Every structure is written in structure tokens, then in C-alpha cells.
Amino acid sequence: MKIEISKEFPQYFKPSYPGEFELFSHLETTAAIPSVLFAITTWKENRKPNVCFHAWSCFHGDKTAFFAVMGNLYQHTHTYANIQREKCFCINFLPISYYDKLIDTINHNDYEADEFSVGNFSLVNAKTIHAPMIQEAFVNMECVLKETQDLSGAGITSMIIGQVQHIFVEEEYAQGYEKRYGKDGFMMLIPAPQDLKTGEPHQSAIATINIEKYD
């Protein structure tokens, strides 16, 4: 038997923190689909560097281009304004050992903050675009803004599509699987899975990738 959850909010669902379901759809905690975590870096209008810890994204393309498709970027944020103004951004993949530093940039992200200093990150300038990059990242991707879409039409979040122009990969990550996957590799967000029988919330989780099979 399958439990069915519709687009109408189930009144027995309990939030894990006040306002959770004002920020996120209940269907996210119903499905609890993991996605990769990374830092978006941009320049604020005052020339201070900005860091946005983000998930809800995918990466794909064809032989002509490669794209970063970032969902659920809130329109009220510095990052959204910076991308609309500068028409570019960097994506930086860091291992789970940097999680706490990235959380610090969420907790101290006012307009005057140098968020690279907050997270104790080393700043390097991107090569092909006007954006800062995190030196400690094992993969950096330079992106130009391709498209912005407000999927819900509610003026709350947007999907940002960036076309990847250039990629840097740390040399020790450049061969095989060992470094990119595991505790030193990609960091994943597991959205808090709702108990679909009782409506009780669970905590979100941070995971790394364990390879089970080669295809």
C-alpha cells in the first residue's frame, strides 16, 4: 500500500521549526530527495564577497553547453540580487569538513559582512567572469547567467540557470573516485523526511556518497 500526499497541505504535518511550511513545500519533506550542497559566490553591490550555502540543484547539458540549474533561490537574498546585477556567479564544492564554516556565513550574512572572512575562506578571482571563488573548494565552476524563472509565480523563489564557462579541479581530485566521493568529496543535503503516518518531523541530514556499484 502506498501513502498518498496531495498538493493540499496535510493538517497533521508538524513543522520541525516555526515557519517551515511558509518557506518550503510539504511535498519536499514528503519526498525527501537528496541533492548536492555547494557554495554560490558573488560580489555584493558594495564589493564585499558573498557566500550562499545552497542545494536543490542539478547539473547537465549537451555537447554544446553545460548548465547549473539552481532551484529554490530566494528572491529577497543578496545572492539573487548579485546574480541579476552581475550576470554571473561561481559554484564551489567543498567537503563536509567545511560544513560549520558554511553555516557561519548563513548566520552572519548582513550587507556589510565580508562572508569569506566570516567562513575563513581564501578568496581568488574567477578567470572568465567577475566573481570571487573559494580557494579551498575541490571543484570551482564559473557560470554566466542564462535564465531566471519564477516557477511558482509567487515572487518568493526563482530557478537560476547558469551556463558553465570554466571549471577548476584540485589536482588530487582529478583522477578516479577516491577523493571526490566519500568524506573528502561531495556533500549532500537530505531534506527532513516527514513521518507520513503520524506527521511528526525529522531533522534534515548531511551525507557523503558511498559508491555501491560501478556501471
pLDDT in tens, the chain (215 residues): 999 999 999 999 999 999 999 999 999 999 999 999 999 999 999 999 999 999 999 999 999 999 999 999 999 999 999 999 999 999 999 999 999 999 999 999 999 999 999 999 999 999 999 999 999 999 999 999 999 999 999 999 999 999 999 999 999 999 999 999 999 999 999 999 999 999 999 999 999 999 999 99
Specify whether the CB–CB gap between 149 and 159 falls below 8 A: yes
Burial (Cβ within 10 Å: 0-12, 13-18, ≥19) of residue 98: buried
| Each residue's pLDDT tens digit, 162-204 | 999 999 999 999 999 999 999 999 999 999 999 999 999 999 9
Cα(88)–Cα(140) distance, rounded to whole angstroms?
13
State what percent of residues in the chain have pLDDT above 90.
99
Q: Determine the pLDDT at residue 38.
A: 98
Q: Which residue has cell 564544492?
A: 93
